Structure 1
């Protein structure tokens, strides 16, 4: 065979290979594009659920379909004919597309999709069940933090947990086994005391596996479960670690099934605030480890948190908000730090971080409540002043108002009414409450002791008298200052060593401040240039001073930002130079046996004086605004109503900044009765000035800085426009936008 014939045969083979390869490539390319298109429309993970070995969720409580559910579905199907069926199918496809954007879209698209998905109303049960079944854990926790979301979007606890909640098995013994296991990991005397008190024969039961100890007769099952959960919370709080691999107690509890037991407990005690609070306290510690999100989701706890964040009880809503914020990974709120506002997810930048620090025998949900009648009652030496109150809701008689179809006309009429009322009150001065009897140093603000808007002040006063609040910074400040983040600091205190306490909870001011610092850093306080304002009552002011001194002296960048961004500190009867009550005679000290918290507040203590001197130096260096309030009236203690001045005015005076001595006692010095109190108006004035400075133009010193700021803003807008055009296929089309406006309220 010649060379020419060999080349012809080779060319023939090459043609066949080229035609076959190109055909195969075309077929492969079309199949791949088809699969990619299908994956964009249908979630492949839903189809893969059948291949999983683990337990999956189901919609119904029983393997057989509910007859009522089926009849309702058939009735709705028969009624959906013609245009209505097409309209509902469009809504259904739009909801699924929004769910897809929640999982795969960028940050802006995800925020829009979450808001629109949460605003869907009048959904059928089966539509919510389908969306809940297809939803992943990351979308679920973000949707739970969105205001107004339908709770049917979240799966309930699995059926084996719901069946266990209907059984007669005692949950207290399950919790007891968990306590025993965690005690073996990290032994602690408090847990040993608890077990010996409520489970006296637990040691014998541990040796005899077949015997079941009898439940204590002096306590009911519900109260015993709450006590067990409090014991678990106490233990995991003491031995809590930020890294999950190092937190051996929590790892042991999770492996033994703590989350299913907590879900079962909430189902057994439905709508029980005390039980829900005990469960939430444990969940707040567990949520620090955001890698447990999938475990929360599988046990149906995301839906329970979405339910509790709507609670009117501030303890439940704040704890649920902390859990969801930790699980979403936005911030990390350690135990003892409560998120008071905003409870829900927000896209606005924080204008100011406001921190509340209580004093001795106080608490986040006790110290910062509105002044009520119980504040005037004498207090004891042992019991803690509680926040229970008897508030009679005012009966507001609503008079029919004439409404106009034209909103501009309605606004004009309202403005005329307001102008008329202000004219009637022109000759009257509305004086604020709690006028100081003594004031030192000229104030930096233009705050006055009379209301500027008289009609608004009178209306607010009547509204505050009718609507009692257990935390006035949470309920009042966001109404007057936007984009605030309010955090409450909670820590354990004691007055006497005669009282039961944990030996590991004895700490001085410096130790408490060092424990608070990492919690503030993890929460992002002062980060991104956000200004910080502190509100501190009594001993809490000393802790704040210690934190700021450590932050000023630190070389750590994140800790240094707290000192750099602190703008103001407000002290409510803080003993800067100590208290004479803590300096008691030796005979009285032998009887009362004051705790370490009281002993460190002795008058003219060298530790307090050195701290005071260091704080004054850093306050002048960083130009912190300081305002001090002092008590002028004695506090009645014991049933004999013994008048006692806890903090004298000379000790409450910081020596710099504004100083006011008010006609209030030690307990009421941080509790305004209404928004027309000097206490509230002073705090509001500081926050408004700090927030307004934050919103000002960042570069306004020179013309060059101004032009540079305008140039950067324009470039940012152009880049965002290009990004939106690039993401057109993943965004919302104009038709879908019309449908969103149609199906929303």
Structure 2
């Protein structure tokens, strides 16, 4: 009709098809449905979902196909079933017939379910469901973002009946359980308790020694692993009371509580050995295969003390470095224990537990691993994105958490709230777009305090800096701007890290991404305490770390010159604090100015002299303290520049 009237210019009357608008509308609807079906199938194929081809076979749009085959065509008031009167169907306009034939053809190829296609195209609608099975299906999706949507929806369910939480706890996979543990408000019912253990015939000390004896002997004889193994398994060497063989001078009895202290010390050495072993991935696998996690569970049940908890969470942190051990850790109920510890009032225990959970949670945007360091912020999944890293490095005899505590209150002024870690409590709240990491390492003033006399080369400034560089790379440091904060010897380690970054291309990202440095009482030119120890070095046996920090040390002078050149060439802002009060090391000993002002002043950037001793220069007493105010302003200015 269109061809005859408009092309051949013939005189024709109007097209007699009274029902054309309604049927045209119906054709458009069927066309949209077909396009939706084809688009949904393509979306599923591209999303990587595992869908069997049989789901695409059968009938197109099963629900729609049924409607087509049972639909009626209204022609001159006559309603006829499509299956019973095909000739009547052929009398309808050609475009309607064609669309229907296409639908029937595709219906033999694709098995379509409108509800499922709707859920696949719009998974956020499913995430609003109150059905635990629906949310579990989302959490198991092969699509990363759909999985996160399902986990977040499960974590947000706070008013379910208890049986629903228990159902999810028993049905969800280990990956989902770990992800839920990183949401602070997730219900505790999601996490199953540890399974009950069979009673052991031996003491816990015997079982710990048995675990050490089953682990392979390390190839290096003069190593800390071998040292801890030897002293843990050789009871006579550990507790020999008469090394000169003068047994007649010893008592035939033990003092009250002496046996308990010996047993505790033996357990501590065993845990030191296990912690040293599990820092190696191969030995960590062997420890778990020998049912070491069950032994740790029994130890925690028998001795639920804080020092035991710290050792266990350290071992679990080492095990969390190995991705294949996730199933073993979750199935033995340690996720529930770590979550309970993450809420502990002991800041060190809580932060170590949160760091371990972060290591185990590999199904997240950040897949960084934290070894011998503590993640202070962000410790949860539901946190703001971060644009820079703040790396804290403590000094001699310090700790990853202990060094950065709030200053002990005076007798006159006692604050209502004491912060056990001010970078976590104050700096993270004022600058939430930061990732804050604190590095931990063992150190001592003299060799009498060394827990392990071997591997002294790793205790030098260069040796320790190289070890830290590898761990910082595993934690993703260097992928975004860095702000370094160091106290005492920690500042020297920061300078050595930057020096190695300039000299070796493998670590060049650390110098390229550095945006600022803060020093608290750093002995750039040596320490007066070290000079005192060096005078009596044959009596006090100063440690390797101390020997490198004597006044006017050539190594320190060279290191400082390299740092000055780097900061000057790259216009790196620097903020330094110095002490002005002597520090007391013991009642019989005199007070000593640990780092004089001429040594703590780097000669570049802003320098502030504080009326505090060496220990308190990095411990503000409140958010109004000048130490925190200057630190916060320095970090905030750099963060604003990064955002711009």
Q: Same fold (TM over 0.5)?
A: yes
Query: Alignment partner of 2:545: what SS?
Result: helix
CA contact (8 A) 1:365 1:470 kept: yes
Aligned counterparts of 1:610 and 1:109: Cα–Cα separation in 2: 54
**Residue in 1 that maps onto 2:441:** 491
**Residue in 2 that maps onto 1:281:** 314
**Residue in 1 that maps onto 2:292:** 258
Aligned counterparts of 1:467 and 1:26: Cα–Cα separation in 2: 68
State the structure with more CA Rg. 2
**Residue in 1 that maps onto 2:251:** none
Aligned counterparts of 2:486 and 2:351: Cα–Cα separation in 1: 20
Deviation at residue 633 of structure 1 after TM alignment = 1.1
Aligned counterparts of 2:190 and 2:111: Cα–Cα separation in 1: 30
**Equivalent runs, 1:158-197 vs 2, <5 Å:** 158=195, 162-164=196-198, 169-182=202-215, 184-185=217-218, 188-197=226-235
Query: Alignment partner of 1:340: what SS?
Result: strand
Query: Alignment partner of 1:636: what SS?
Result: coil
**Residue in 2 that maps onto 1:293:** 326
**Residue in 2 that maps onto 1:123:** 160
Per-residue CA shift, 1:415-438, capped at 9, x if unaligned?
xxxxxxxxxxxxxxxxxxxxxxxx
- Do residues 229 (structure 1) and 279 (structure 2) align? no
Query: Alignment partner of 2:576: what SS?
Result: strand
CA contact (8 A) 2:533 2:540 kept: no
**Residue in 2 that maps onto 1:451:** none
Deviation at residue 505 of structure 1 after TM alignment = 4.6
CA contact (8 A) 2:443 2:450 kept: no
Query: Alignment partner of 2:321: what SS?
Result: coil
Query: Alignment partner of 1:661: what SS?
Result: strand
Deviation at residue 578 of structure 1 after TM alignment = 1.1
Aligned counterparts of 1:230 and 1:125: Cα–Cα separation in 2: 40
With 27-36 and 533-542 compared, the bigger mean Cα shift is at 27-36
Deviation at residue 167 of structure 1 after TM alignment = 5.9
Aligned counterparts of 1:132 and 1:291: Cα–Cα separation in 2: 21
Deviation at residue 316 of structure 1 after TM alignment = 1.7
Aligned counterparts of 2:271 and 2:116: Cα–Cα separation in 1: 44
Aligned counterparts of 1:267 and 1:29: Cα–Cα separation in 2: 58
CA 1:36–1:335: 2 relative to 1, 3 Å: farther
- Do residues 660 (structure 1) and 594 (structure 2) align? no
Query: Alignment partner of 2:518: what SS?
Result: strand
Aligned counterparts of 2:408 and 2:589: Cα–Cα separation in 1: 18
Aligned counterparts of 1:124 and 1:586: Cα–Cα separation in 2: 67
Aligned counterparts of 2:267 and 2:200: Cα–Cα separation in 1: 16
**Equivalent runs, 1:435-514 vs 2, <5 Å:** 465-506=415-456, 507-514=459-466
Deviation at residue 250 of structure 1 after TM alignment = 1.7
Aligned counterparts of 2:496 and 2:563: Cα–Cα separation in 1: 8
**Equivalent runs, 1:698-713 vs 2, <5 Å:** none
Deviation at residue 500 of structure 1 after TM alignment = 4.0
**Residue in 2 that maps onto 1:533:** 483
**Residue in 1 that maps onto 2:146:** 109
Per-residue CA shift, 1:435-486, capped at 9, x if unaligned?
xxxxxxxxxxxxxxxxxxxxxxxxxxx9x81101121111111221122211
**Residue in 2 that maps onto 1:684:** 632
**Residue in 2 that maps onto 1:436:** none
**Residue in 2 that maps onto 1:46:** none
- Do residues 144 (structure 1) and 92 (structure 2) align? no
CA contact (8 A) 2:232 2:266 kept: no
- Do residues 612 (structure 1) and 544 (structure 2) align? no
CA 1:334–1:120: 2 relative to 1, 3 Å: closer
CA contact (8 A) 1:317 1:343 kept: no
Deviation at residue 170 of structure 1 after TM alignment = 2.8
CA contact (8 A) 2:209 2:232 kept: no
Aligned counterparts of 1:97 and 1:306: Cα–Cα separation in 2: 25
**Equivalent runs, 1:21-40 vs 2, <5 Å:** 26=58
Deviation at residue 624 of structure 1 after TM alignment = 1.2
Deviation at residue 32 of structure 1 after TM alignment = 11
Moved segments of 4+, more than 6 Å: 27-41, 198-201, 220-223
Deviation at residue 93 of structure 1 after TM alignment = 5.0
CA 1:217–1:664: 2 relative to 1, 3 Å: closer
**Residue in 1 that maps onto 2:406:** 370
Q: TM-score, normalised by structure 2?
A: 0.73
Aligned counterparts of 1:40 and 1:296: Cα–Cα separation in 2: 37
CA 1:131–1:36: 2 relative to 1, 3 Å: farther
**Residue in 1 that maps onto 2:381:** 345
Per-residue CA shift, 1:553-572, capped at 9, x if unaligned?
3223xx32221221111111
Deviation at residue 657 of structure 1 after TM alignment = 0.3
CA 1:226–1:497: 2 relative to 1, 3 Å: closer
CA 1:220–1:495: 2 relative to 1, 3 Å: closer
Aligned counterparts of 1:35 and 1:178: Cα–Cα separation in 2: 57
Query: Alignment partner of 2:505: what SS?
Result: coil
CA 1:153–1:221: 2 relative to 1, 3 Å: farther
Aligned residues: 510
- Do residues 521 (structure 1) and 473 (structure 2) align? yes
CA contact (8 A) 1:564 1:622 kept: no
Aligned counterparts of 1:226 and 1:336: Cα–Cα separation in 2: 19
- Do residues 304 (structure 1) and 341 (structure 2) align? no
**Equivalent runs, 1:629-668 vs 2, <5 Å:** 629-640=577-588, 642-668=590-616
Per-residue CA shift, 1:491-513, capped at 9, x if unaligned?
11111123343133522101111
Per-residue CA shift, 1:376-418, capped at 9, x if unaligned?
xxxxxxxxxxxxxxx99xxxxxxxxxxxxxxxxxxxxxxxxxx
Aligned counterparts of 1:679 and 1:175: Cα–Cα separation in 2: 46
